[in-house]
Amino acid sequence: MSNAPTPHNAALAGQIAKTVLMPGDPLRAKFIAENYLENVVCFNTVRNMLGYTGTYQGKPVSVMGHGMGIPSIGIYSYELFNFYDVDNIIRIGSAGALQDDLDLKDLVIAMGACTDSNYASQYQLPGTYAPIASYPLIQKAIEAAQKKGIKAAVGNVLSSDMFYNANKGANDAWKSMGVLCIEMEAAALYMNAARAGKNALCILSVSDHIGKGTKLSARERQHGFTNMIEVALGIIY
């Protein structure tokens, strides 16, 4: 706590709730704060990575952007867990679907996160680490989706360091292993949570289908993920 504020976060101790929703896009964080939370206070504008604390159905919750990619969420989630005493981080973001039975705006609950990143090397483990979500959050997300009648696929995702991959066979290889979709952050979030003894989950909404060639517009990505947001808010405790 003595490390707050940080070079990336202007919040003071106590200004961030125990549970934080983290979209990649800070404008999506602003949208959630303005449309879902009450008694909202902005705690961060550093680098325009907007962060807000408010209440949802009387419960304190914060929402903050995390940027794009493993290095970015690695910084923000590390600071929230270790410097601001946050207990739960729920990443909400977009993903590119791999499996044929997924469609645009479908929900994916990331039980595990494969990765082509070298993020785990810092821990000097004598083997290959498997980043997974916290089961209590998975269970609550499934229950929240079922309560709202929202279909959600639960399984493995890929957290990739590459948006443009020179290996043209990579997507088919991951698809053949049952990976549901590709995003760019969950693995680092799960590793940071595990190392800190905290909880993390990634809930994704399909923004494009890599095999079918379909995709949402930029505006739909920013404002069109209502189901994902409401499921995430439904698991706050």
Do 229 and 12 meet the contact criterion of CB atoms below 8 Å apart?
A: no
**Closest CA relative to residue 206, chosen from 66, 99, 59:** 99
Burial of 213: CB neighbours in 10 Å, binned 0-12, 13-18, 19+: exposed
**pTM for the structure as a whole:** 0.96
Catalytic residue among 85, 116, 161, 208: 208
Q: What is the mean pLDDT of residues 126-153?
A: 97
Residue 215 is encoded by which pair of tokens?
């995709």
pLDDT tens for residues 224-237? 689 999 999 999 86
Is 25 assigned a catalytic role? no
Q: With 60 as the cut, is the pLDDT of residue 1 above it?
A: no
CA triplet 161, 191, 225: central angle to 5 degrees? 65
Phi-psi region of 51 (alpha: psi -120 to 50; beta: other; left: phi over 0): beta
Q: pLDDT at position 136, please?
A: 97
pLDDT tens for residues 47-104? 999 999 999 999 999 999 999 999 999 999 999 999 999 999 999 999 999 999 999 9
Q: pLDDT at position 223, please?
A: 60
Beta bridge partners of 152: 107
Q: What percent of the chain has pLDDT over 90?
A: 94
- The contacts of residue 111 (CB under 8 Å, 6+ apart) are 132, 133, 138, 154, 155, 156
Mean pLDDT of the residues in the chain: 96
Q: pLDDT at position 219, please?
A: 76
Q: pLDDT at position 119, please?
A: 98
Domains, the chain:
19-234 (3.40.50.1580)
Q: What is the mean pLDDT of residues 153-170?
A: 97
5: cis peptide before it, omega within 30°? Answer: yes
- HEC assignment per residue over the chain: CCCCCCCCCCCCCCCCCCEEEEECCHHHHHHHHHHHCEEEEEEECHHHCCEEEEEECCEEEEEECCCCCHHHHHHHHHHHHHHCCCCEEEEEEEEEECCCCCCCCCEEEEEEEEECCCHHHHHCCCCCCCCECCHHHHHHHHHHHHHCCCCEEEEEEEECCCCCCCCCCHHHHHHHCCCCEEECCHHHHHHHHHHHCCEEEEEEEEEEECCCCEECCHHHHHHCCHHHHHHHHHCCC
